[in-house]
Amino acid sequence: MAAHPGRPGYCGFFRGAETTTVMSVTPCSGPASAAHDSLANPAFTRSEARGFTALQARLVDRIKRAAIRHLHASASGERLLLRMYLDAEEASLGILREQLRQKPPGWLARQIRQHLAEEQIHTTLFGAALDAKGGRSRSALTPPGLSRRKLARWHQLANQHAHCFAHGALVPAYATTMCAEQMAARILHRHCETIGSAHALHALFATILADENRHVRLCAHTLQRLVAPHEMASLATLLAEVRKIEAAFGISGALALYVAGLIGRAWPDGGAR
């Protein structure tokens, strides 16, 4: 989630509710060509999925579009959406700080610090938007902590794969970041399409969508610099496992968001306290 400092410009729960192509392989093995393709063309789309995975992706998309419409129909629903985006930004700050603790090379440390500053701008923007809608108090509509469980599984995965790379835990950190950014771009694209350009929040979401697309490319470029040619097979394995975790949260995450939207319409003041 990158933005330009000083320029208006994000989803923990959202990020675990998409579906992408997955495969299951053991650590330190896998087709290197898959990793090369991922980095050369990082703008993944749902059209890459096949069979049940494609069906799941279409179902998730339909449920989430309906959920977005329900949530935007009430003030409490919009507060929930903004709260979730803000939570994601705050989680991203923690992830970036953890990457700095990994003692990255100088060029990457500078890049992470810049990214950290940009995420703080996003946090400020979403916080301001949330305040304008009635405050930052936790909503009674907030869905279960699916994002926290997904992040915990990603952390476990990073520990399992760190030894496969010369740069250690930095590679799993950036692999998960790239996948998260790809999902964020799809999520924001869906959100902008669903609410339309006339909506008051469209400009904010559209600006951040452009930033997300740029940051996906940045993550892919970073991985190209961090991962040696003989490590590409291991990277392919890692990316597949990251996306497998993402897919596991697809239907449950979409349904939780949809139910929250229905509750928001029936109980429009539910998030005000």
- Tens digits of residue pLDDT in 28-86: 544 555 555 556 555 544 445 567 777 877 888 888 898 899 888 888 888 888 988 88
DSSP of 67-80? HHHHHTTSHHHHHH
> Which residue range(s) make up the domain with 257?
72-266
203 band by pLDDT with thresholds 50, 70 and 90 = very high
pLDDT > 70 in the chain, percent: 69
Determine, yes or no, domain membership for 97. yes
Q: Is residue 44 part of a domain?
A: no
Domain assignment present for residue 33? The answer is no
Q: Which of 8-12, 205-209, 234-238 has the lowest mean pLDDT?
A: 8-12
CB contact set of 124 (below 8 Å; sequence gap of 6+): none
In a domain, 47, yes or no: no
User: What pLDDT, on a 0 to 100 scale, did the predictor assign at position 222?
Assistant: 92
**Is residue 271 in some structural domain?**
no
Q: With 90 as the cut, is the pLDDT of residue 204 above it?
A: yes
Q: Are 219 and 226 in contact (CB under 8 A)?
A: no
pLDDT of residue 50: 66
Residue at 41 is within a domain: no
Residue 115 above 70 pLDDT? yes
146 pLDDT more than 60 = no
pLDDT at position 153 over 60: yes
Between 50-64, 103-117, 219-233, the lowest mean confidence (pLDDT) is in 50-64
Q: What is the average pLDDT score of the chain? A: 76
- Gap between the Cα atoms of 79 and 137, Å rounded: 9
- Kindly indicate the confidence band of residue 147, based on its pLDDT and cuts at 50, 70 and 90: low
More reliable by pLDDT, 203 or 11 = 203
Exposed/middle/buried for residue 102 (C-beta within 10 Å: 0-12, 13-18, 19+): middle
Q: Domain total for the chain?
A: 1
pLDDT of amino acid 45: 42
Q: What is the pTM of this model?
A: 0.75
Confidence of residue 23 (pLDDT cuts 50, 70, 90): very low
Percent of the chain with pLDDT over 90: 22
Q: Quick check: is 36 in a domain? A: no
pLDDT exceeds cutoff 50 at 240: yes
The CATH number for 94's domain is 1.20.1260
pLDDT score of 171 more than 80: yes
- 37 domain residue, yes or no: no
